[in-house]
Amino acid sequence: MGKAGRFACIFTPMALTIASLICLIIVGLGGTNKNDSNLNGFYFFRANTTDININPSDLNIPSNPLTDALINQTTSVAKDVLDVKDFYHVSLWNYCAGDFENGKDKVTYCSPRKNEFWFNPVEVWGLNNTNIDQLFSKELRSGLHAYQQAAKWMFIVYVVAVVATIVEILVGIFALFSRLGSLATTIVSTISSLFLIGFALTATILYATLMGSFNSALKKYNIHGSLGHSMYVTVWLAVAFSFGAGLFWLFSSCCCSGRSNRIKYGDQSGKKGTYERVDSPYGHREGPVNFQSGPGYQVPHHGVPLNNVGDRGTAYEPYRRADV
């Protein structure tokens, strides 16, 4: 297998690694642009507050003619007081909120991007100065605290996975020239895959748990949580691509040497040469050759025993190769 075969052997794991990196980039871009409907579809968790049912009497609002009138109004007025949107999408860096228009989601706001972001409904929904946050169950409170800690770990693992995948691509370039390069790339790929699996598992378990807490603790407020299908498909595709790339990197470190298997005629050292005439083992006599024939005539041996000629083991070659 020559260099062309080596390139073909490296192309597959390199393409899978790049595909994994693209998936990770899409995960990071989710929720970063409120005007991009495609990116807004990538989120880990969705809180649907369209039919939220908040009793205005639970709000800690100072008593005055205006607020007393508000308390007697409908739930929609209470939503306007708290500025609660119809839905909230939680992504890696931030959250986005919006309303339903003509049966479709319309994102109207995305929070500033933040490292180790976690979604705090008490703060986002403006419940800090009300009595409603005290109505949250102990289970939800403990769940939010665990979610805050796990979100930090998930973000760190994501960053390490992205960096390791980029390094894998860079090191993979050297794999084109030797199997030792493939071995080094296999090691980096293993690290990348481990962190990717850690990120995918953490995100899946974390937000599945958060969804369960939301649906059990906030059911009486008609607040429902759900997971983002597109986001998790992308995350686990990144894991699959990375795992597949690791297997092919390992295969390329064992096979696909890049050396040619063709056996060339002549000297394998690559030296060029010519052929020159050699002396006959039967000797050579100057002067005219006296050809004789007749009964009982024997050809002279010129001092070369016939038995020695027979012991050479190979046929006599009148030419030999001379390196130049």
- Average confidence score pLDDT of the chain: 76
pLDDT band at 295 (very low <50, low <70, confident <90, very high): low
User: Which of the listed ranges 13-17, 75-79, 81-85 does the model predict with the highest average pLDDT?
Assistant: 13-17
The arithmetic mean of pLDDT across residues 174-187, rounded, is: 82
Check pLDDT > 60 for residue 301: no
Check pLDDT > 50 for residue 56: yes
d(CA 55, CA 37): 33
Chain-centre distance for alpha carbon 264: 42
In this structure, what token pair is assigned to residue 276?
């020159």
Q: Could you give the 3-state DSSP secondary structure of residue 64? A: coil
Half-sphere exposure of 264 (CA within 13 A, CB side): 8
Strands 273-277 and 45-48 turn out to be unpaired
Check pLDDT > 60 for residue 279: no
